[in-house]
Structure 1
Amino acid sequence: MRLNQGPEPAAGDDILARLLYRDALMLVIDKPAGLPVHPGPGGGDTLVRHLDALRFGLPRRPEAAHRLDRDTSGCLVLGRHPKALAKLGKLFSGHRVDKTYWAVVEGEPEEESGAIDLPLARRSDDPRSWWMKVDPAGDPSLTRWRVLGRDRAGRAWVELRPVTGRTHQLRVHCAAMGWPILGDTIYGRAPRQGGPGLHLHARALDLPLYPSRPPVRVEAPTPAHMQAALDACGPGPA
């Protein structure tokens, strides 16, 4: 069952307008940039506070089946009950979900496509820190990429397909290649305040949820804060 999305609301607005897909096991929503999924030490609004509106008759609210950074927009999968969450968790942990991201990067890749195979580790031993770094002793991390368009200002529209799912993997990998993601305040060139917002969008997911059916594919529309930069890079994929 595919659902049409209405106008893009701001973070915390009607979450039903962001529903992209629904079946008996899962929901997929278009998470807005700037809205964290879970509460953090700084407080503030979170996606969790809005999930009761997505029960659709079930006794429990759905829960996120994987991670998506606060500043990343796009497809987020929710399990509708514990058994569904367990099944989805195995798909994500087993790298069986095909994830496609769109990013605008500062600095143009020399090639048109390739793979980034760089292990990642935490920058700090502090368990509260999520900042990552390239480290030969870290966890294996692989990202496949291809250029979808380029602009005249030295930026590129890049499709990123993470094979592994490390914390901040795409952001660190792009920065390590010399083309950080536009708006990245941690690994890129953006100021901490007043920047353009992180130009990283979880564009699509393909989930092999049902053995006798093709993978479920869900796509999220381009967020408003990325549209101008993508337009400047050209028409993108056919």
Structure 2
Amino acid sequence: MSGVQMRDVGDDGQDMRLDRWFRNNFPHVTQIRIEKLCRKGEIRVDGGRVKPATRLEAGQTIRIPPLPEPEAQTTPREVVLSDDDIRLMQDSVIYKDEHLIVLNKPAGVATQGGTGQTRHIDMLSNALKFELEEKPRLVHRLDRDTSGVLLLARSGRAAALLTKAFQAKETRKIYWALVAGCPVDAAGTIRYGLVKQGGIGVERMTCIHPDEVDATPGAKRATTDFATIEKIGTRAAWLGLSPITGRTHQLRAHLAEIGCPIVGDGKYGGRGQENMGDGWGAILGGDISRKMHLHARSIEFTHPFSGKQMFFEAPLPDHMQKSFDYFGWNLKWAPKDPFKVFE
């Protein structure tokens, strides 16, 4: 494609990430190319510099620099899902109305596409159109190996309102985790900052002491509340977690930093283990699964259109349920909000 183009964002682009908008409109342009064009300032929105994750609004104008011509065989293809994928997604629906869908995301399925990710919720959500023509849109993310409550919007307007609620911290998410070890305090707050370790494409976060965050290039402040629901001496604990901020791998990195890594976490298996890679992590042995034991248990928010207060819980995945049964933990013991116990 020769020459610079100026293209307006339509209603279907409301609250869509810039990189996703580009992939939808120019499927032959790679994610790496989009990131490079953003860094160089060649892609702009309403004249301003942007990042790949910038959220768009209907009516904005995107500057599109000259792009390579697509190869003849590179054409947008209709997504074709298997019967198993359709059943997986539709069986995962906890709640649905005309504006939103609440899923219990399966562990092991990425939320969005990326390097090496060809099967993900964003693609599989084509199975959730139901009576509408467009598939629902992601409002937030969960890590690939994290299961649990995931919220999707069924229109651009719903996506914009729900995203604003997340940004304004008007939603409350509670996670459950099985960790190796037990926190010194029964409840508390972790305030280590986080900075990405390595270069482009590397998603491993390093914790930074709160006093050093502002002086560390690229570091961002991060806050996690935790509360102990049950424990087995100092061997393991069932924790309730509430991320006050929403940084990449925040819960996983924070728990590893305080010496209580999430069981089965291959990237953050414990402090001082610099060479640990995927496939390792905190392992309890016995009949405890090596899969990651982190689950988005519940979400509470105000419905963007009715104003009704909404609350949803997601059942545990099988591997976590088996681990809880192994320790004799009954889910009925857990309060709806474990943090209120320590107020």
TM exceeds 0.5? yes
Of 289, 295, 306, the match for 1:201: 295
Task: Answer yes or no: is the 8 Å Cα contact 2:110–2:117 preserved in 1.
Answer: no
Measured in 1, the distance between the counterparts of 2:305 and 2:123 equals 33
RCO higher in 1 or 2 (8 Å CA, sep ≥ 6)? 1
Q: Which residue of the partner structure matches residue 234 of structure 1?
A: 329
Q: Which residue of the partner structure matches residue 31 of structure 1?
A: 105
Q: What stretches of structure 1 move > 4 A for 4+ residues in a row?
A: 10-13
Measured in 1, the distance between the counterparts of 2:92 and 2:155 equals 20
Where do 1:208-219 residues align within 5 Å?
208-210=302-304, 213-219=307-313
Measured in 2, the distance between the counterparts of 1:48 and 1:214 equals 27
Higher fraction of helix: 2
2:243 aligned with 1:162: yes
The one-letter code matched in structure 2 to 1:18 is: S
Greater Cα offset, 176-185 or 22-31: 22-31
Task: Answer yes or no: is the 8 Å Cα contact 1:31–1:74 preserved in 2.
Answer: yes
2:193 aligned with 1:119: yes
Q: Which residue of the partner structure matches residue 134 of structure 1?
A: 207
**What TM-score results when the alignment is normalised by the length of structure 1?**
0.88
Render the CA deviation track for 1:172-219: whole Å, top value 9, x for unaligned: 110011100000000115873387111000000001234874421111
Deviation at 1:44, TM superposition (A): 3.6
Deviation at 1:151, TM superposition (A): 2.2
Task: Answer yes or no: is the 8 Å Cα contact 1:99–1:202 preserved in 2.
Answer: yes
SS at structure 2 position matched to 1:165 = coil
SS at structure 2 position matched to 1:14 = helix
Task: Answer yes or no: is the 8 Å Cα contact 1:175–1:188 preserved in 2.
Answer: yes
Of 147, 154, 167, the match for 1:73: 147
Measured in 2, the distance between the counterparts of 1:11 and 1:173 equals 34
Task: Answer yes or no: is the 8 Å Cα contact 2:267–2:277 preserved in 1.
Answer: no
**What TM-score results when the alignment is normalised by the length of structure 2?**
0.62
Measured in 2, the distance between the counterparts of 1:105 and 1:169 equals 15
Measured in 2, the distance between the counterparts of 1:23 and 1:12 equals 19
SS at structure 2 position matched to 1:181 = coil
C-alpha change, 1:206 and 1:117, in structure 2 (3 Å) is same
Q: Structure 2: which 5+ runs fail to align?
A: 1-83, 214-218, 271-275, 281-288, 336-343
Measured in 1, the distance between the counterparts of 2:188 and 2:240 equals 11
Measured in 2, the distance between the counterparts of 1:174 and 1:193 equals 18
Task: Answer yes or no: is the 8 Å Cα contact 1:19–1:27 preserved in 2.
Answer: yes
